[in-house]
């Protein structure tokens, strides 16, 4: 990918957006892990916990970028990312397992471990969007991490207020997943030679993912209403 080309900047914007849309959970984890600390130590826990988490994430993402050269891993990663895009729309808050640290080191350790466990979706998505470009991975994280650390609560409020942001995020993830699948060596030539099929495939994956999420949410809502009526 040519440096500072339109393609480069569009991929960079995609990576930053993916980092932000998948950052809600990480922001919650950071807040929960540091909640028992004195005020002056909370900021240190957030900063150093995030530094550690980002370090691990950069290494993990670069490893995945290299692994995507292995046959069929683009296909596997793409399918997994479709599932992540779907889960983004139907996710339920479940952070009961995050224990707050009583010391600065305990909180930092909790943030790093929890982020590493939860960050697999982010790693796969960013690696897929970067298409093997190491600079894009590093730049994307450098731009989005400060926003995640200091602006994550604001972003969570925005998502809660404007539900459509999550749907846009899911569509971006589905688009990235579809592109990963088309970059699979066994299919790449076929898609490159058939632009109509290529774009039809991308649009189909996006529509199916978002519609599946919407249908699941409607069914869950109806089930909850039915349960509420029965309990009364």
Task: Please report the pLDDT score of residue 155 as a whole number.
Answer: 61
Task: Please report the pLDDT score of residue 152 as a whole number.
Answer: 53
User: Is 1 within a domain?
Assistant: no
Task: Please report the pLDDT score of residue 147 as a whole number.
Answer: 66
Domain containing residue 54: 6-231
Task: Please report the pLDDT score of residue 26 as a whole number.
Answer: 66
Task: Please report the pLDDT score of residue 204 as a whole number.
Answer: 97
What pTM did the predictor assign? 0.75
Which 3-state string (H, E, C) describes 73-130?
Answer: HHHHHHHHHHHHHHHHHHCCCCCCCCCCCCCHHHHHHHHHHHHHHHCHHHHHHHHHHH
Task: Please report the pLDDT score of residue 225 as a whole number.
Answer: 87
Half-sphere exposure of 144 (CA within 13 A, CB side): 27
Q: What is the mean pLDDT of each run of 10 residues along the chain (232 residues)?
A: 79 83 68 74 79 81 83 87 86 56 78 71 82 82 69 63 84 90 89 94 96 92 85 72
User: Is 118 within a domain?
Assistant: yes
Looking at the structure of the chain, the number of domains it has is: 1
User: Is 149 within a domain?
Assistant: yes
């Amino acid at each position: 990918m040519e440096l500072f080309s339109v393609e480069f900047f569009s991929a960079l914007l995609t990576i930053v957006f993916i980092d932000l849309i998948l950052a809600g959970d990480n922001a919650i984890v950071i807040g929960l892990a540091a909640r028992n600390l004195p005020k002056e130590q909370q900021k240190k826990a957030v900063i150093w916990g995030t530094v550690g988490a980002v370090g691990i994430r950069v290494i993990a993402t670069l490893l995945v970028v290299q692994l995507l050269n292995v046959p069929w891993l683009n296909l596997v990663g793409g399918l997994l990312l479709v599932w992540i895009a779907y889960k983004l729309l139907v996710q339920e808050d479940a952070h009961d397992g995050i224990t707050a640290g009583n010391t600065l080191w305990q909180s930092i350790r909790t943030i790093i471990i929890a982020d590493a466990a939860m960050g697999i979706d982010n790693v796969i998505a960013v690696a897929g969007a970067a298409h093997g470009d190491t600079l894009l991975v590093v730049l994307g994280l450098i731009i989005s991490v400060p926003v995640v650390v200091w602006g994550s609560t604001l972003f969570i409020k925005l998502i809660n207020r404007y539900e459509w942001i999550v749907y846009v995020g899911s569509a971006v993830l589905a688009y990235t997943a579809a592109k990963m699948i088309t970059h699979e060596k066994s299919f790449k030539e076929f898609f490159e030679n058939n632009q109509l099929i290529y774009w039809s495939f991308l649009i189909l994956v996006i529509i199916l993912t978002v519609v599946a999420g919407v249908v699941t949410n409607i069914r869950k809502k109806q089930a909850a209403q039915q349960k509420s009526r029965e309990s009364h």
